[in-house]
Structure formats: structure tokens, C-alpha cells
Structure 1
Amino acid sequence: MKSLVVNQDGKLEVQEVDMPEITEHQALVKMLSCGICGTDATIVQRTFKGFGTENYSLVLGHEGFGEVVEVGSAVTRYKKGDRVILPFVPAPRQNGQQIGSGWGAFSEYGIVDDLDSYPADAAPETALAQQVLPESIDPQEAPVIVTLREVLSTIRYFNIDPDETVLVYGSGPVAMAFVKLLRLSGVSDVVSVVRSAEKAALMQGFGATRCINSREEDIGIAVKGLYPDGVKYVLDAVGSKEILNEALTLLKDRGEVLCYGVPKANAMELDWSSAPYNWKLNFQQMPYKEEEAQCHDQIMEWLGQGTLSLSEFISEIVDFEEVLEAFGRYLDGQTSKKVVVNFN
């Protein structure tokens, strides 16, 4: 099968990889779509924590969706024809030799695990969040559900007080999801820090109550003008030491810096000389699959109500044959929303 592989030098190539073999507890999935995520970019740039040089070459992708085409003998949760979210290729092989897995969903085929068929506590963690989606979900839009579930689980993990202001840095798909889901979760005041008037309009469309354009305003002056004592939460949806340091100056006492973006370095210097005396720094770089699964029904409910739309998060949908060009545009910052790769 064809897969998107990141070589040891960080170069992306479409290569032939062995078909995954399922066990009695697994189902084979023909991939229909997969979304490009910031995690993918960090892995390509070889700066994602836990992915050392020994992990490359590796197969990329974790926001996958596909159709079950074969089931193992013990499988009861899935049947042929089911459309499932979050199939992976956990142990890819190439010409019989093991290669690395960046979850592997940019492949023509993947695997889901039947949680119910395993002995207690024996199933892989990913099985907790692998679920059947209704036929009403557009296959080309389905990968967005992964982003939304991860972001909602992070909002819940951060235990954000809905009566407090949340200042969100970023205007990419993750920041869009945070703004939209914070508002749907009852947070009344969500402020977006952006870098253009176009981005400001975009984020207001997702529910931001106001925007601060960092190219037109001094962020510190603007925030303190609105909130003289500072804000309770500053959320970094980018992953930047500059943002984290600036965030410290915007907090009220006992405020929190919430980092969801993955920094491009695994060490940094923080200057808290202008921070309040009491503050917290909270990182979430790898949402738990159990917590992601617990958000599934809420996301599906909002989609069913029409208060949430998958298409509004997508910039473009491209065929797998164009995946290298699509990644190039994404890595160059030429896409404003999520890019979805279509396998049909």
C-alpha cells in the first residue's frame, strides 16, 4: 500500500509500505480521509518530543477516518462497512522490516482495535477512542472530529472557569476549535490574539468576543486596558516560548498559562519578573484517549444540533496524489484552516 513517509532527513515521500496484518482483536480499515495536524508538522521538522532519530523513517498521520473491510475472529464491535474514526498503523513494515510509526494514518489502509474483545486492561489506549461514525458524517470532513474531541478534552482537563476570561493566542485550526468550543462550553469572554484584520474577522466568526491584532496594538497595553488586574487564563495554541513569556505578564494573581501547542524546542527560559506572585503553567501535549472518547457524544450532539459544523474548519480537500504539495503549502503557512487528504 502507499503511505506518507518521513525519512531520517525530514523529507516527505510517498512510499510503498507493507499491508498491515490484523489480529483476532482488530479490524482492517480502508482509509477514506486524514487531516493534516500541527503534530504532523512538528514530526516532519523532527522536533516532537519522544520521536528521536531512531524513530525515523516513519509513517505519518493521526487524524484518520475509513471503512472497515475485514474483521478479526474475536471482533464484535465492528462489522464490514462500518465507518470508523482514528484508525492507525501502529507497527508499519516496509519489505518485511519494521519502520517507525507517527500513528500512520496517511496510508491506504489502517487498523482499529475492538476494545470489547480484549481481556481487561489489555487493549491499546487508542481503542478507547476508535468509534463508528454515523453515515450522515461526510467522509471528507470526518477528520475534524479528532481535532474537536482532543480540544474539548483539553478544555475539560484545564478545568476552565466559564466566568473568567480566556485569552487565546493563535488563529490556526486548533485555536479556532478552542474559541468555538470554549464558547459552546459556556465561557462568555474569549479574546483572540491575532496578526491581521483578516484573522480577526475569522476568529470572530468562530465566536471570539473581541480580538487584539498584535501588528496594530501593543498586547500588554490592550489587555491591561480591558482587564486592569489581568486575565485568569492565557492559552497558547501555537507552542512558542515568546508567547509563554508574554503570557506571564498578562495574568492576574493566581492566573494560569495553558499551553496546548507543541513548542519547537524541549527547553526554554521563562522570565517571571513581571508576572504576578502566584501563577501556574499547565502543559497538555498528548490528550488521553480515554478523555477524548468521553467528549465524543458531546461533539456529535453539537453537530446534530447544527451548533457546530465540520466544514467551517476546513480550507481545502486534496486527493492523496497531491499530499506532498498540500503538506508544502501547510508547512509554508499558506493554509488558514485544516487541510484534509482524501483517499477516494
Structure 2
Amino acid sequence: MNAEAAARDITVAVVRAKEQPFTIERARLRGPRSDEVLVRVLATGLCHTDLIVRDQFYPVPLPAVLGHEGAGIIEAVGPEVKGLKVGDHVVLAYGVCGHCRQCSSGHGAYCEDFYGQNFGGSGVDGSNAIEDAQGQPLHDHFFAQSSFATHALARESNAVKVPEAAPLELLGPLGCGIQTGAGAVINSLKVGAGSRFAAYGAGAVGLSAVMAARLAGAAIIIAVDVVPSRLELARELGATHVINSREQDIVEAVRAISPGGVDFALESTGRVDVLEQGITALAKLGVIGVVGASKMGTLASFDVNNLLMGGRTIRGVVEGDSVPQVFIPQLVELYLQGRFPFDRLVKFYPLEQINQAAEDSARGVTLKAVLRMPG
């Protein structure tokens, strides 16, 4: 396909400066090359990572088109694409190099070039695919997609085909937030039947972990948060106990529910004080997974002897250790069976209300905002 002939005008949400609102703009997107696919985006999830990049917790170059939980329909493919075709329904996941030691061993979430592939602000060749209305390049390829847009370019390796029977506009969050929470429980921590689990933070990631822990057969599932409505929903989704950390000491409350502590835990708030308490509340041989993103350089502390003498483990987790082409279809099937009702986390907004969606997410009013793209 002639890439220049396929270039098109699109609508995008742009971050132009640190901590500034998104602006809705017209832009120009080139067509797909090599292993790329052009996707007409139906809807994109708004993730905490989009907001911390907007605020420059991570040094992504601006101005940029963010968005990394896209779902849509393929409209064109590059000449090297072999397994996808026009008309396929896809969920867009994260980018990987595909050939480093980690990628080659099935651990693409820990790709040696993960930061460059997902936060570099350009394609692997250093070029940009999007220009603004003045012909100036916009930093893009965010998570190999930049899907706060009516159309996005992804690569075959991060475009995951899903069944047409599934509600496509709902599925975007499976590409990051939902697979992170569920995957951390199933793939990373390997929570087992009869075990004791705590989710620190009952946002979209934490509640996905709660649902996954229920699927895994955990006997005790504790959700910790400060928002009563989130804790109520956590109970409905599978939590056996909830803790409002504004009203109770986390460590004391966890140990009162689960004497000796919990076997597994997931920290998704990005708050150092919560992480430190989560480590303390682990049982012997317990493992805590860390998925909450903080500013670069953030340090946490723990009692070395508590870690050593108890055989406890602190484990960083990226994207739920998932292989998206395997895990995302599994989550879709569980959803269609009614066993993984992540739709209960979602609230839809039109793209032009992205700043309201961001505000509602930051305030805890909305668990998982999903932006519908204009027709």
C-alpha cells in the first residue's frame, strides 16, 4: 500500500506543556509502513499513566499525543503484516522490540528497550507519524499506538485480534490497566486457591486484581482504599473484606482479618506510605507486587530484617507479566462468560470531554474512563 496515499486527517487530544489540559486538535497521520496497521479507533481507556506523563512524572517529550488503551478496527496494513487484515477487531497493547533476551524468552513486558518503545515519543527510527495543523510533528508512538485519536498506527506485534462478538468499544482497557491488575494476580504472583490476598488501592487496577483473585480461588480477599463507594463495589466484585485506611491502621486491620498477614498483595496506588505498610503486613514467605507508578527517583523504606527473617518478597510488575496475544483473549472470554465483569468499572466520555474524564479519574469519581472517538 502507498503510505502517502493513505495519509489522512484525524482528530487528536494533545498535551502541549507540563500539567496543562489536553487540547482537541486536527492533525495529519501518515499511512502504515512495514509491519504497521492503521486502526480506526472506536474508544480508548484513560489510564493513570497517561496522566502522570501529562504531568511529566516520566520524561516523555512534548507536545505529544498520548493514549495507550485503544480498541478499534483495522483499515489498512503495511506490506510486512502477515497475521492481521483489514476489518479485524483489535485491542492495542504495549510495544516491544521483539528480539532482546526478555522478548525472546516470552517476557516482553520487561523488554530491554521498553522505555524507548513506549515512552520515547517517536518510532523506532526516530520519526513521527503525526503532524499538527501547522505541519509541525507531534510526539507519538506512545505505547506504540498514541490512541487518543480517531485513527492510530500500531504494529502487528501489539495489535491483538479479538472476537467480533465482544463489545469492542469496551475492550481498550484490557490493553493496559485491566491486564495489569488481573495479570499481576494470575501471572506474576500466581495467587492460588485458599490463599490470602490484599489489594492496596481499589481503582481499576486494584479491582481487576480483586476479580482475578476471586477467579483464582483466594479464600481471603481484602480491598484497601479511602473511597467508600469503591470499597462497596469491591465487595460486589469478590472482596471478602474491605478496609478504609482513613479510619483504620492498615497493618493492624489486615492482620486482624488474616492472622500473621497475607500471602499475596498488590500495591497500585503509587504511594510510598501504602507500599511500606503493605510490606509490613505480609505473612512469612509473602509476596507483594508493585504496579503503582510514582515520580522517577521515589524511594521507599522497609525493615531489612522483617524482609530477611520472614522470607518476604517485593516484586515489580509491568503489564501483569502478560503476553497480550494470549492473555487479552482469555480476559475477553471470561468477560463473555460473565466471570470477569470489568464493564462495571467503566464510564464512557466523548473525546472532547477528556479533561473532565481526567479530573473525575483523579478525584476518584470515575474508576475507568473510556473515551469514545468522534465518528
TM over 0.5: yes
What is the aligned length?
A: 324
Counterpart-to-counterpart distance in 2, 1:236 and 1:269: 13
The Cα shift of 1:96 comes to 5.2
State whether structure 2 residue 77 is matched by structure 1 residue 67.
no
What is the aligned partner in structure 1 of residue 161 from structure 2?
132
Partner-residue secondary structure (3-state), 1:140: helix
The equivalent of 1:9 in structure 2 is 18
Equivalent residue in structure 2 for 1:111, among 145, 153, 158:
153
How far 1:191 sits from its partner (Å)?
0.8
1:197 deviates by: 3.6
Report the residue type matching 1:93 in the other structure.
Answer: I
Distance 1:187 1:101 in 2: 38
Would the aligned equivalents of 1:212 and 1:219 in 2 still touch at CA under 8 Å? yes
Q: Does the alignment pair 1:283 with 2:283?
A: no
**1:23-34 mapped onto 2 (5 Å cutoff):** 23-34=33-44
**Compared CA separation, residues 101 and 74, structure 1 to 2 (3 A):** closer
Match of 2:279 among 240, 248, 265: 248
Indicate conservation of the 8 Å contact 1:34/1:64, yes or no.
yes
Residue matched to 1:154: 184
Match of 1:297 in 2: 329
SS at match of 2:168: coil
Query: Aligned Cα RMSD in Å?
Result: 2.4
CA distance in 2, matches of 1:287, 1:164: 19
State the match for 1:83 in structure 2.
Answer: 89
Distance 2:341 2:32 in 1: 34
Q: Matched residues in 2 for 1:224 and 1:69: separation?
A: 53
Match of 2:369 in 1: 339
Match of 1:175 in 2: 206
**TM-score normalised per structure 2:** 0.78
Cα pair 1:33 1:140 within 8 Å, conserved? yes
- Classify the secondary structure of the residue corresponding to 2:297: coil
Provide the rounded CA distance (Å) in 2 between the counterparts of 1:6 and 1:302.
35
Structure 2 distance, partners of 1:67, 1:61, is 16
Separation of aligned partners in 2, 1:303 and 1:241? 33
Report how far residue 261 of structure 1 moved.
1.2
Kindly tell me: are residues 299 and 281 of structure 1, through their superposed partners in 2, closer, same or farther at Cα, counting changes over 3 Å? same
Letter in 2 for 1:154: A
User: Kindly tell me: are residues 72 and 196 of structure 1, through their superposed partners in 2, closer, same or farther at Cα, counting changes over 3 Å?
Assistant: closer
Q: Find the aligned partners of 1:265 and 1:194 in 2 and give their Cα distance.
A: 24
1:49-101 CA distances to partner (integer Å, 9 max, x unpaired)?
xx35xx22221110001112222344342332222110789544322536244
Alpha-carbon spacing, 1:274–1:228, altered in 2? closer, same or farther (3 Å): farther
State the match for 2:108 in structure 1. Answer: none
Q: Structure 1 residues 221, 310: CA separation in 2 closer, same or farther (over 3 Å shift)? A: closer
- 1:164-191 deviation digits (Å, cap 9, x = unpaired): 2111111111111000011112222211
Identity %: 22
User: Where does structure 2 lack aligned partners over 5 or more consecutive residues?
Assistant: 1-9, 95-121
Could you say which residue in structure 1 is the equivalent of 2:30? Answer: 20
The equivalent of 1:46 in structure 2 is: 56
Q: Give 1:339 deviation, angstroms.
A: 0.8
Q: In the alignment, residue 149 of structure 2 is paired with which amino acid?
A: S
1:57–1:162 Cα change, 3 Å: farther
- In 2: Cα distance, 1:73 partner to 1:223 partner: 55
Q: Please state whether the residue corresponding to 1:60 is helix, strand or coil.
A: coil
Gaps of 5+ in 1: 115-126
User: Structure 2: which amino acid aligns with 1:67?
Assistant: I
Matches of 1:331 and 1:92, distance apart in 2: 30
Q: Secondary structure at the match of 1:59?
A: coil
Q: Which moved more, 1:260-269 or 1:169-178?
A: 260-269
Q: CA contact under 8 A between 2:65 and 2:138: conserved in structure 1?
A: no
Cα contact 1:85–1:131 (8 A) shared by 2: yes
SS, match of residue 264 in structure 1: coil
Q: Which residue of 2 aligns with 1:163?
A: 194
The SS at the match of 1:182 is: helix
Query: Bigger CA drift: 231-240 or 165-174?
Result: 231-240
C-alpha separation between the residues in 1 aligned to 2:149 and 2:325?
23
